[in-house]
């Protein structure tokens, strides 16, 4: 079952645990059914491709693999990790950084 994902496409995040700990990147895509995200330059894997009509040579390509949302933390404007909260401003609901109380 998918839970509420507070990180959105385009956010800058830092990996907080695992072999990629400390690396930062922008979120390229969110996979809500799996609670995972694809982050630019994080969790890069090598894929072996068989030769085909488009790529007659075949070879090895690198691409980002999904990483679990719980291993990511949103970065504020000054580069610190923070949790995400929500606040109503007039008629709209906005995301807020818990550490700095700034609107994301």
CA distance 15 to 27: 11
What is the number of domains present in the chain? 1
Residue 79 covered by a domain: yes
Structural domain of residue 46, as residue ranges?
12-97
Torsion angle defined by CA atoms of residues 81, 85, 87 and 93, in that order, rounded to the nearest 10 degrees: 100
Whether the pLDDT of residue 2 is over 80: the answer is no
* Cα-Cα end-to-end distance for the chain: 27
Q: Whole-prediction pTM value?
A: 0.84
Q: How many residues does the chain have?
A: 104
Residue 1 covered by a domain: no
CA distance 66 to 98: 26
Residue 71 covered by a domain: yes
Whether the pLDDT of residue 1 is over 70: the answer is no
Here the CATH number for the domain that contains residue 50 is: 2.30.30.30
Residue 16 covered by a domain: yes
Residue 5 covered by a domain: no
pLDDT in tens, 48-96: 999 999 889 999 999 999 999 999 999 998 889 999 999 998 899 999 9
Residue 7 covered by a domain: no
């Amino acid at each position: 079952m998918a839970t509420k994902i507070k990180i959105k496409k385009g956010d800058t995040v830092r990996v907080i645990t695992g072999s990629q700990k400390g690396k930062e990147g922008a979120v390229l895509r969110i996979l809500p059914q799996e609670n995972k995200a694809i982050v630019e330059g994080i969790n890069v894997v090598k894929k072996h491709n068989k030769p085909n009509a488009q790529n007659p040579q075949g070879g090895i390509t690198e691409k980002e693999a999904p990483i679990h949302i719980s291993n990511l933390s949103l970065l504020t404007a000054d580069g610190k990790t923070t949790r995400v909260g929500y606040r109503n401003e007039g008629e709209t609901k906005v995301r807020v950084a818990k550490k700095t109380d700034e609107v994301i």
